[in-house]
Amino acid sequence: MRAVMFQAPVRLCATFRQRDLLQLMSGSSPAFRRRTPPHRKTHSAAGACGINTHVGAAPGAAGGAAGTGGVTVGAAAAACSMGTSTNRLYSALAPTITDNRIPQPQEYGVERDLEPVDPTDPDDLLKECQKVLENRPPRLQRDFLYLKKSNLASDSRPIKVLQWNILAQALGEWKDNFIKCPREALNWSERKYLILEEILTYHPDILCLQEVDHYFDTFQPILSGLGYHSTFFPKPSSPCLDVEHNNGPDGCALFFLRERFELIDSATIRLAARMLQTNQVAIVQTLRCIETSRVFCVAVTHLKACSGWERFRSSQGCDLLQNLESITDGAGIPLIVCGDFNAEPTEDVYKQFTKSSLNLNSAYKLLSNDGQSEPPFTTWKIRPSGESCHTLDYIWYSQHAFCVNRLLNLPTEEQIGPNRLPSFHYPSDHLSLVCEFSFLDQLDEC
């Protein structure tokens, strides 16, 4: 296989406007120019909890990706060659990123100040999505479940959080082998509109995504035009890079509306298991609500997949919890944690979060009659090995600080259909989770 070097688009043109966003989505936009990113020094600190780059950001600082916006990221965020052989080479180098004697791959990042000149009209963008998708079946219709409100702070608007593993394009199209999903349904030229339609429909204040491999050419510029600050942290050795036709590594991305929150602090974490660095990552950011000055943390992560790795995930969860305890001063700062944990509620990592000193609760338990049971599934797919229906995705929150106002219901088996996910009417094998929070009245100001 011929190795081709991936290089991320690094700067939006000065004349980037709303019409360019629509062209970008259609694949005809000249909005990016490519050049080699400048060489930057890597900073990393090895410890029992793995690599944790944690640098304060001035309030209101612009962020673009790992390595910008107040976050310093080392070689874990490096640009990598495409293809199996070069990916193996990078995998061999990745565990030694703290050894300055070994040459490091070039850093994978973007420049600061990536916001478009003009904002994007979300209604126009939604209409554009619907126009492109008019020949596809209608999207899954899901309603919100309203919960009883009590002891809510009267000085703040609710905070809407969307959690979603959107399915990396390189994996969905070339590796995951969804045998019941038509190939045409996975075509990026239309699938991206389904993803954006879902985001535009629910218009979250905070958006936590996993398996993002079209960050630079799609999600960062488009969501920036919609008013979101964004941060991206790729996996050190993404499986997407084994695919010849890829768009770079996949990773976690965190977006929040600039009009509602300002960034106080930001950390990118390469998770550890038994004191060894792993290929899984997390982003943790401390935000201040502009309306109320309340401070809280939000985190996004994606733990190791596949059965047989339960103890590994448990160790990763332990590492993440240790980092969260440190960042939140032992839950002195309220916390929301979103992610694809790749773990059923019966696994140790789930129990760790339930029993943590951070006093976390899983929001989607509140869909059940007793408030104690998770939904029957958050992902449902069919591969050659068989049908896979599991609950793996969660939104955790500090139950002493937040109250859940409403939750987006999950679709029924009939709505999903016999061929399961992904499909022509849904772009991922994971369902999006949407939760609306309010601060409790008795919460002290941070």
Say which residue, 226 or 70, is predicted with more confidence: 226
Backbone φ and ψ for 309, nearest 5 degrees, come out as -110, 25
Q: Which helix (H) or strand (E) element contains residue 339?
A: strand 335-340
pLDDT > 90: what percent of the chain?
Answer: 67
Specify the pairing of strand 295-302 against strand 335-340. Answer: parallel
Q: CA Rg, the chain, in Å?
A: 20
Q: Which residue has the tokens 């360019």?
A: 20
Is the torsion defined by CA of 69, 75, 80, 84 positive or negative?
A: negative
Say which residue, 117 or 59, is predicted with more confidence: 117
- Whether the pLDDT of residue 401 is over 50: the answer is yes
pLDDT band at 445 (very low <50, low <70, confident <90, very high): very low
pLDDT for 119 equals: 85
Report the pLDDT averaged over residues 111-133. Answer: 77
pLDDT for 63 equals: 47
pLDDT for 223 equals: 97
Q: Are 261 and 235 in contact (CB under 8 A)?
A: no
CA distance 114 to 267: 20
pLDDT for 245 equals: 85
CA distance 55 to 64: 15
- Whether the pLDDT of residue 82 is over 70: the answer is no
Report the pLDDT averaged over residues 35-44. Answer: 32
Report the pLDDT averaged over residues 224-252. Answer: 96
Q: Please list the alpha-helical segments (H only) found in 328-364.
A: 348-355
pLDDT band at 118 (very low <50, low <70, confident <90, very high): low
Q: Are 294 and 445 in contact (CB under 8 A)?
A: yes
Domains of the chain (ranges, CATH numbers): 122-439 (3.60.10.10)
**Amino acid letter, 375:** P
Burial class (CB in 10 A: 0-12, 13-18, 19+), 369: exposed
Q: Which helix (H) or strand (E) element contains residue 85?
A: helix 84-93
If you average pLDDT over every residue of the chain, what do you get? 80
pLDDT for 446 equals: 37
pLDDT band at 441 (very low <50, low <70, confident <90, very high): confident
Say which residue, 70 or 367, is predicted with more confidence: 367
219-233 pLDDT, tens per residue? Answer: 999 999 999 999 999
pLDDT for 114 equals: 52
**Amino acid letter, 38:** P
pLDDT band at 25 (very low <50, low <70, confident <90, very high): low
Backbone φ and ψ for 376, nearest 5 degrees, come out as -70, -20
Beta bridge partners of residue 300, listed in sequence order: 283, 338
Give the pair of three-digit tokens for residue 179: 């045998």
DSSP 327: H
Strand ranges (DSSP E) for 3-127?
Answer: 11-12, 32-33, 51-56
pLDDT band at 46 (very low <50, low <70, confident <90, very high): very low
Report the pLDDT averaged over residues 26-38. Answer: 39
Q: Which residues contact 176 (CB under 8 A, 6 or more apart)?
A: 167, 381, 383, 429
- Whether the pLDDT of residue 349 is over 80: the answer is yes
Say which residue, 72 or 267, is predicted with more confidence: 267
- Whether the pLDDT of residue 240 is over 60: the answer is yes
Cα torsion 391, 395, 398, 402 to 10°: value is -120
SS3 content of the chain, % helix, strand, coil (to 5): 25, 30, 45
Report the pLDDT averaged over residues 313-332. Answer: 96
pLDDT for 144 equals: 97
Give the pair of three-digit tokens for residue 338: 């979103």
Give the pair of three-digit tokens for residue 438: 């309010």
**Residue 282 vs residues 324, 339, 384, 389: alpha-carbon distances, Å:** 10, 9, 30, 25
335-340, strands of its sheet edge to edge = 51-56, 261-273, 276-289, 295-302, 335-340, 393-398, 360-362
C-alpha closest to that of 430 among 211, 191, 175: 211
